[in-house]
Amino acid sequence: MTQSPHSGPQLARLAALLADETRAAICLALLDGRAWTAGELARYAGVAASTATEHLNKLIDGGLLAQERQGRHRYVRLAGPQVAQLIEDLSAYAAPPAPPRTLRASSASAALARARTCYDHLAGRLGTTITDAMLERGLLQGSTGFALTDSGMDWFRELGIDLPDAASRGRRPMARSCLDWTERRPHLAGVAGAALCRHALDTGWCVRIGSGRALRVSPDGERALRDLLGVTAVA
């Protein structure tokens, strides 16, 4: 029997990388799309710095994380959008988390569910609501996976967002569906999703809450989303 290009042992090694709570927590933290230091990730995961370093080395060697050094500091990030998609997809299929036990944890969980970044695009109720509005207005079609329509391309241009052509964006699709782990419905990802998220942050439509992934829609953002897509406040 001919062995497939992706053999069982390779898949098992990949699964083993994420079959650890600390490494899984590190990957989830890095879904905010930013680079973190080993010390920051150690504090986030609640482990010693030496333990975090061991886990980071395994994730880097396994190809899930990339690193860069600036002076004495080492920064790590997810190796690319494909890794982010893998982590988000696995999160969507995982069992729902236990209900938060404290008011602070409950507030943080509600903020993530309402609006957050998923690597480099918008997620949570905000992400799915925007995606639904784009589908309803014919800016996006989803019959065979997400794709921008001609009207959608014009809409981005009118916003002043330059989307790269096929040669410039490489293998990353212009638009793709990403299963939202809190809404259990798709939101827009790909090059277009990343560009829209970057525009929302650059214009102040959305602002980060603290240092995590959670976002808050600003009054300017509420007006823009209402005028452009008919999206009202995301509760």
Does some domain include residue 3? no
Is 123 in a helix, a strand, or coil? strand
User: Does 216 lie in the same domain as 116?
Assistant: yes
Are residues 66 and 78 in contact, defined by beta-carbon separation less than 8 angstroms? yes
Both 107 and 132 in a single domain?
yes
Which of 68, 116, 60 has its CA nearest to residue 88? 116
Is 30 among the domain residues?
Answer: yes
Whether residues 139 and 214 fall in one domain? yes
Domain that holds residue 200: 96-229
Report the C-alpha gap between 112 and 177 in whole angstroms: 19
**Is residue 89 in a domain?**
no
Whether 85 is covered by a domain: the verdict is no
Residue 1: predicted pLDDT: 44
Same domain, 104 and 33: no
Residue 141's H or E segment, with its range, is strand 140-141
Mapped onto helix, strand or coil, the DSSP state of residue 206 is strand
Residue 234 lies in a domain: no
pLDDT at 129: 95
- Same-domain pairing of 63 and 140: no
Whether residues 35 and 120 share a domain: the answer is no
Facing residues of 148 across strands? 140
My answer on whether 156 and 47 are in the same domain is no
- 133 vs 142: CA distance, rounded Å: 12
142 and 205 together in one domain: yes
Whether the CB-CB separation of 151 and 159 falls below 8 Å is answered with no
Residue 178 and residue 141 in one domain = yes
Q: Are residues 67 and 171 in the same domain?
A: no
Domain count, the chain: 2
Rounded to whole angstroms, the Cα distance separating 14 from 163 reads 33
Residues 41 and 130 in one domain: no
Whole-model pTM over 0.85: no
Is the same domain home to 26 and 113?
no
pLDDT of residue 218: 94
The answer to whether residue 235 sits within a structural domain is no
> Which one of 79, 110, 135 terminates a domain?
79
> 131 in a domain, yes or no?
yes
CATH number at residue 54: 1.10.10.10
Mark the ranges of the chain whose per-residue pLDDT is less than 70. Answer: 1-6, 95-98, 100, 105, 166-168, 233, 235
